[in-house]
Structure 1
Amino acid sequence: MYLSTRIDKALFPTAALFFVYFLVMVWVNNSYAYFLHEYMGAAQKNVDFEFVSYLAILAAYCSFLCSSKIRTPGDLVVVLLILVLVPHALVLNGANSFAPEASPFSGVPLAVLLGVSLVGLSNKIHFYERDSGEDGRRYIVLLASINIAVLIFIVLKSLGHFSLDFSGQYIRRALARDVFAAGSPSGYIASIGTQAFFPVLFAWGVYKKSSFYFFLGLLNVLVLWGAFGQKYPFFVLVLIYLLMMYFRRHGQIKTAWLLFFAIGFLLLGVVEHEITDYSYINDYFVRRAFVVPSSLLGVADLFASNNVNNGYSDTLIGVLLGSERSDPLSFQMGVSIFNNPDLNANVNFLAISYLQLKYLGVLFEASFVGGVVVLLNYLYACRGSFLAIPVALLFATKILEQSLPTVMLGSGVSFMLLFLVLIAAPPQRRATGSPQQ
């Protein structure tokens, strides 16, 4: 194990791309996207010389935290956190009617800045590579068997409303909340047995060129759509496919290519809007991935200013500490700000940790995530566990919009981490070469 202190030569080119990414994000929000969610509080972002200078500094800092190439599971987690959470909290902060004066140096934005920094610095801990003779192939069969059994269970239990129809997705979501109630055994079985498993199984199928696991991943997404009306797994599937294909061919992914893709995708929405006077890309992707989360962080900031710390009272942790079990924070915000008890205002794990215990909660949860990053890097480098890559992707995509306790327990990430630790083969021999850079 060693601490990487080397300054990457690609730091400045990557910083320049981050700067362009942030500027394009603000321009797209102000010109093409914010009005799509204005009815729920989205607004334009004020732009002046001071803000542009701040974006330049932020871009350089993000480039420092990121690796120029994604080589390890930790690199993947950090890059995704920065590509998604930083625009939400530190670029589009204040672009809403709930906390229009939000500063990146206070409240929820500062919580995100501190949390992402801690996770990014944890990823600077590297390990010497060692060879291993086991890739987990035998254990994937067990994982697939459990997954198939859960899929059958979900289909049988949801036969009354199961459908692939697009227009009925929200009806299926409402019905699924009753059939697979949160906190119930059936809810945990359905969530862990699919959402924790299919990213790993699908990634294995893409990377190992296995048609069985590839189509099993597709089947999971269709079942989740038919039973729960969930669109999110489709996005995860596409992301896994692109990342694993590139990773399989090149053994690493350049951060610059992800930035080029993100910038190009934003500009494609602009072109579509200019040609057709409406953009599905802006409405279904840019709005959902950036504008809505940014607005909800404004909701979280407003909620935090009007309420005392939640103290994890909506989790098992709070119950064990003697607190009376409260409604989930995301629903508390729906009631408090929107006066809608059915509105689930999901925000990222750092914002939730701030609402739970202010910056102490951020320190605790970001340190935990940093520990998971170190563990995944260790299993990947020292135990040859390729499965650490899709588990890292699963972990990162979940904490982008859920609380950490929910991700670790309800989404099955704890199960997958335990699975990785149990199947990781002992190193056969130490590598004698230079440290991995």
Structure 2
Amino acid sequence: MSNLRAIGKKLRRPLLLLIFAFFIMLVYAVQLQSANASIGYAPISLDYRFLIYLTVGFLFVAMLVPSKINKPSDFFCFFYGFFILLPYLLLCSIRGEVGIESFTLYFVVLFLPLLIIKVVLLKLPVFRFPGLFNQSNVILFLCGLIVVGVVIVLSNPTPSAGFDLATSYDRRLEGRDIFRSGSFISYFSAAIINGFSPLVAFWACWKKKAWLVIVPFLCWLTFFYLLGVKAPLLFIAVAALLGYAARRRKIESFISYVYGLLIASFLIFVFEYVAGGYSYVADYFLRRTFTVPSWVIASFFEFMSADSMHWSLLTGISGSKPVSFVVGEDYLGFEGLNANTNAFMYALGSGGIVLYLLTILLVAGVFFILDAAYVRKNNPIFIYIGFSYSILIIEQAATTALLSSGIGLLIGLMVCTRKNQDNSYV
């Protein structure tokens, strides 16, 4: 009987992944492909080549996607494997048929970062991290930075500043003139709204100081007033829920909650489509979650293979224009399109094989520090930072995620805090 339970546990993960693979293909075939044919969504042929791609690639993905969150790097393995590798495996032909040789090369390029990082993190040496700061003082310091940032941005508001949802896009366009790309205020604002505020929300809910959540909430409210941004509120809410899960020792079940949310989304899709022939959840959530990343990745591979585009395997692109805009505007022909993709594809497109390998090593190093610090200091904040960094690098450059969202500063501060003495969290 115990053997049957063990076999059942081993089969549970691949069976779940197969169920999600079925629903992803169903949503794509029934609604998303035809609705987005004008931008290049092609029909997927379920022929022998597709079965070969799926069978071989699925085995590798299923082996490395974790079933529980036990350390910070598990978030990366889950997000990258489930939201990057699995959808691309299914939708590699989203922009047209891909030969077996090309698919093999493309899949290796995508799979190699996960494999290398997984191998690097198999054995963690015991480090002695300094205990220079009290953790509460660090959180107080971050709250101070948030307050300073809010005061600075309020001193120079956008012309359309307000709480009207209808003018939120206007405020965002106006903000580009104030928060210029590359400026200090731009980086500082991104760090406090995307990095510091969610971490404060996490700590507040972990330490049963729910009143402190008002600081990140007011920070988001300020930036909504000035720039019309809505997404940071969701990030702050998720961080608060993770903090509550840390207090209840439930973070390891995070993947189960994600699966539950997605299963509910797919069931809503079926209900909506059967009832009216159209699904809002497919168009506004499932498309962005599963098909857009695969479409952008396929576009990057096409761009790097095109003779008409000046791209080098060793040096990437020439010029100062970001590769995401080169692909979006110059190759795909959509004016103003910033074709964001995961950190490794961005590095390969931007700087060639050298930057690609350096990015793998950088990300491996970040999670090496986070995993080692988590084990040494018994502090779930490192779990949260691992979650935050994992989310960011699946859609932007690794260095941008470290700098512009304040993740690098948070890591530097937290590895210097004293060991968590709360033995209720292990």
What residue number does 2:197 align with? Answer: 198
What residue number does 1:248 align with? Answer: 247
Q: Which amino acid aligns with 2:89?
A: L
Match of 1:413 among 402, 407, 419: 407
1:385 matched to 2:379? The reply is yes
1:95 matched to 2:94? The reply is yes
What residue number does 2:149 align with? Answer: 150
Provide the rounded CA distance (Å) in 1 between the counterparts of 2:412 and 2:129: 21
Cα distance change of structure 1 residues 61 and 182 upon mapping to structure 2, 3 Å threshold = same
What residue number does 2:211 align with? Answer: 212
Q: What's the offset of the Cα at 1:181?
A: 0.7
Q: Which amino acid aligns with 1:197?
A: F
Cα distance change of structure 1 residues 130 and 184 upon mapping to structure 2, 3 Å threshold = closer
CA contact (8 A) 2:198 2:235 kept: yes
Provide the rounded CA distance (Å) in 2 between the counterparts of 1:182 and 1:217: 23
Q: What's the offset of the Cα at 1:212?
A: 2.9
Cα distance change of structure 1 residues 40 and 210 upon mapping to structure 2, 3 Å threshold = farther
What residue number does 1:309 align with? Answer: 312
What residue number does 1:32 align with? Answer: 31
Q: What do residues 24-65 of structure 1 show as CA deviations (whole Å, max 9, x unaligned)? A: 112111113334433322233322355346435544433322
Provide the rounded CA distance (Å) in 2 between the counterparts of 1:127 and 1:244: 27
Q: What's the offset of the Cα at 1:191?
A: 1.2
Provide the rounded CA distance (Å) in 2 between the counterparts of 1:338 and 1:57: 30
What residue number does 2:265 align with? Answer: 265
Q: What do residues 118-138 of structure 1 show as CA deviations (whole Å, max 9, x unaligned)? A: 223334335779999987222
What residue number does 2:3 align with? Answer: none
Q: What do residues 330-361 of structure 1 show as CA deviations (whole Å, max 9, x unaligned)? A: 11112212334522111111111121344443
Match of 2:395 among 390, 398, 401: 401
Q: What's the offset of the Cα at 1:14?
A: 0.9
Residue segments in structure 1 that go unaligned for 5+ positions in a row: 1-6, 315-323
Q: What's the offset of the Cα at 1:238?
A: 4.4
Cα distance change of structure 1 residues 64 and 169 upon mapping to structure 2, 3 Å threshold = same
Match of 2:342 among 348, 352, 357: 348
Q: What do residues 353-373 of structure 1 show as CA deviations (whole Å, max 9, x unaligned)? A: 121344443322112111111
What residue number does 2:329 align with? Answer: 335
Q: What's the offset of the Cα at 1:310?
A: 8.3
Q: What's the offset of the Cα at 1:87?
A: 3.3
What residue number does 2:116 align with? Answer: 118
1:362 matched to 2:365? The reply is no
- SS of alignment partner, residue 253 of structure 1: helix
CA contact (8 A) 2:201 2:243 kept: no
Provide the rounded CA distance (Å) in 1 between the counterparts of 2:315 and 2:400: 12
CA contact (8 A) 1:17 1:256 kept: no
CA contact (8 A) 2:71 2:371 kept: yes
1:74 matched to 2:105? The reply is no
Q: What's the offset of the Cα at 1:381?
A: 1.0
Q: Which amino acid aligns with 1:416?
A: L
Give me the TM-score of the superposition, normalised by structure 2.
Answer: 0.85
How many correspondences in the alignment? Answer: 412
What residue number does 2:221 align with? Answer: 222
What residue number does 1:162 align with? Answer: 161
The 5 Å alignment of 1:286-301 reads 286-301=286-301
Q: What's the offset of the Cα at 1:203?
A: 1.4
Cα distance change of structure 1 residues 233 and 45 upon mapping to structure 2, 3 Å threshold = farther
Provide the rounded CA distance (Å) in 2 between the counterparts of 1:245 and 1:96: 42
Give me the TM-score of the superposition, normalised by structure 1.
Answer: 0.83
CA RMSD of aligned residues (A): 3.2
- SS of alignment partner, residue 248 of structure 2: helix
What residue number does 1:4 align with? Answer: none
Q: Which amino acid aligns with 1:411?
A: S
With 219-228 and 190-199 compared, the bigger mean Cα shift is at 219-228
Provide the rounded CA distance (Å) in 2 between the counterparts of 1:248 and 1:42: 44
Give the structure, 1 or 2, with the largest relative contact order (CA under 8 Å, sep 6 or more): 1
The 5 Å alignment of 1:123-142 reads 123-126=121-124, 136-142=135-141
CA contact (8 A) 1:93 1:104 kept: yes
CA contact (8 A) 2:315 2:353 kept: no
- SS of alignment partner, residue 166 of structure 2: coil
Cα distance change of structure 1 residues 299 and 312 upon mapping to structure 2, 3 Å threshold = same
Q: Which amino acid aligns with 2:358?
A: F
The 5 Å alignment of 1:5-24 reads 10-24=9-23
Q: What do residues 231-253 of structure 1 show as CA deviations (whole Å, max 9, x unaligned)? A: 43244234434444434323442
With 16-25 and 252-261 compared, the bigger mean Cα shift is at 252-261
What residue number does 1:55 align with? Answer: 54
Identity %: 22
Q: What's the offset of the Cα at 1:427?
A: 8.7
Q: Which amino acid aligns with 2:95?
A: N
- SS of alignment partner, residue 300 of structure 2: helix
